[in-house]
């Protein structure tokens, strides 16, 4: 499982560099982290990694359901062109449900990272 997550991470962010923490706060008692990465040669190309660090310790994971909640991201750096969940297998590149709104983007956040690719 972790092999596919790391492979996807390198594939998506290999040419990108960490730019800044966009959000790291409590959204109605739900922690939301948003980190921005810029392309090494074209800083207008951005990817946001979004997740909630609300997991449990490994010894408590038996029959554990990930926490998930809907949130809205505002002040987007561009128009989202693709939204991808973290891969857990070779054929697992899930596109989570999301929708654009007048003042931002709404989607479900989980403990696994979601990558938002902007144009």
In this prediction, residues 79-108 reach a mean pLDDT of: 82
Quick one: pLDDT at residue 92? 61
Q: Which of 106, 117, 102, 100 is nearest to 71 (CA)?
A: 106
Which of helix, strand or coil describes residue 4? Answer: helix
Measured distance CA(95)–CA(75) in Å, rounded: 22
pLDDT tens per residue across span 3-15:
877 887 888 889 9
Measured distance CA(26)–CA(62) in Å, rounded: 27
pLDDT tens per residue across span 11-46:
888 999 999 999 887 766 788 999 999 999 999 999
Q: Does domain 2-54+68-118 have CATH number 2.60.40?
A: yes
pTM, entire model: 0.83
């Amino acid at each position: 499982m972790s092999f596919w997550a790391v492979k996807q991470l390198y594939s998506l962010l290999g040419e990108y560099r960490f730019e800044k923490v966009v959000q790291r706060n409590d959204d109605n008692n739900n922690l939301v982290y948003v980190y921005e990465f810029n392309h090494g040669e074209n800083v207008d190309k951005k990817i946001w990694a979004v997740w909630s660090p609300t997991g449990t310790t490994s010894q408590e994971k038996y029959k554990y359901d990930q926490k998930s909640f809907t949130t809205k991201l505002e002040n987007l750096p561009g128009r989202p062109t693709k939204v991808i969940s973290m891969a857990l297998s070779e054929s697992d590149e899930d596109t989570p449900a999301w929708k654009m709104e007048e003042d931002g983007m709404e989607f479900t956040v989980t403990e696994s990272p979601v990558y938002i690719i902007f144009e």
